[in-house]
Chains A and B, each alone.
Chain A
Amino acid sequence: QITLKESGPTLVKPTQTLTLTCTFSGFSLSTSGLGVGWIRQPPGKALEWLALIYWDDDKRYSPSLKSRLTITKDTSKNQVVLTMTNMDPVDTATYYCAHRTSGPLFDYWGQGILVTVSS
């Protein structure tokens, strides 16, 4: 059974760096073809893909946010970490992590974590 759960601060101040952790079970990120991605959703708005890391440490970022994002993995801890620098109130959103296989994309999702950016 694959599960994912996001954790991190729910409130950050403008200009601060956000660090979110996705802790998962039911699969290993050392398995060929697998990956974990991050997606966010501002309140009442659409989903936005942010970043994706693969089993072989290949990393992909949204072109519009690439300069602010870093994704890393800790295979031994079954965790993927996303950092986003220079947070702004427009970055207020629910942040999701999701499982990726070689076929289906984002077949399993975490419950999401609402991050509010406010002073």
Chain B
Amino acid sequence: QTVVTQEPSLTVSPGGTVTLTCASSTGAVASGSYPNWFQQKPGQAPRALIYSTSNKHSWTPARFSGSLLGGKAALTLSGVQPEDEAEYYCLLYFGSGWVFGGGTKLTVL
């Protein structure tokens, strides 16, 4: 069974920069895994942020960016705002279907 691993938790100061990563148990994450990133706040449905590695939705703030970094998918937040405190999930495609990561709880402190 394929496992997608994210940092369980990260802390960043307001205005700072933080990178969240998403690793695959099958090896390096590539563009063919079509990495997606979602943000979820308590009591809310997930909100799509990034698709196909680095593409933003029309509602995605400019401070969010996606990339491939060292064999992983990455989500970078530059100039973090207090409202960015949330759980972040990556989603990867594996041919047989899609697998979510375990999520990263981002604290802005």
Q: Does B66 contact A (CB under 8 A)?
A: no
- Flag the segment in A8-16, A17-25, A42-50 that touches B: A42-50
**Which of B47, B55, B97 lies in contact with A63, CB distance below 8 A?**
B97
Q: Does B26 contact A (CB under 8 A)?
A: no
Q: Are B100 and A62 in contact (CB under 8 A)?
A: no
Chain A nearest Cβ from B28, distance in angstroms: 20
Task: Tell me the interface secondary structure of chain B in the complex.
Answer: strand
Q: Are B51 and A47 in contact (CB under 8 A)?
A: no
Q: Are B100 and A106 in contact (CB under 8 A)?
A: no
Q: Are B45 and A105 in contact (CB under 8 A)?
A: no
Q: Does A61 contact B (CB under 8 A)?
A: yes
Name the interface size band of chain B.
20 to 34
Q: Does A58 contact B (CB under 8 A)?
A: no
- Contacts A64-B1, A96-B45: A104 and B99 contacting too (C-beta < 8 A)? no
Chain A positions within 8 Å of B99 at CB level: 49
Q: Are B97 and A104 in contact (CB under 8 A)?
A: no
Q: Does A54 contact B (CB under 8 A)?
A: no
Q: Are B45 and A63 in contact (CB under 8 A)?
A: no
Chain B positions within 8 Å of A110 at CB level: 45
Name the interface size band of chain A.
20 to 34
- Contacts A103-B55, A106-B91: A46 and B48 contacting too (C-beta < 8 A)? no
Q: Are B38 and A104 in contact (CB under 8 A)?
A: no
- Contacts A46-B103, A47-B103: A107 and B97 contacting too (C-beta < 8 A)? no
Alpha-carbon distance A58/B48, docked complex (angstroms) = 23
The chain B residues found within 8 Å of chain A, CB to CB, are 1, 34, 36, 38, 40, 45-48, 51-52, 55, 57, 89, 91, 93, 96-103
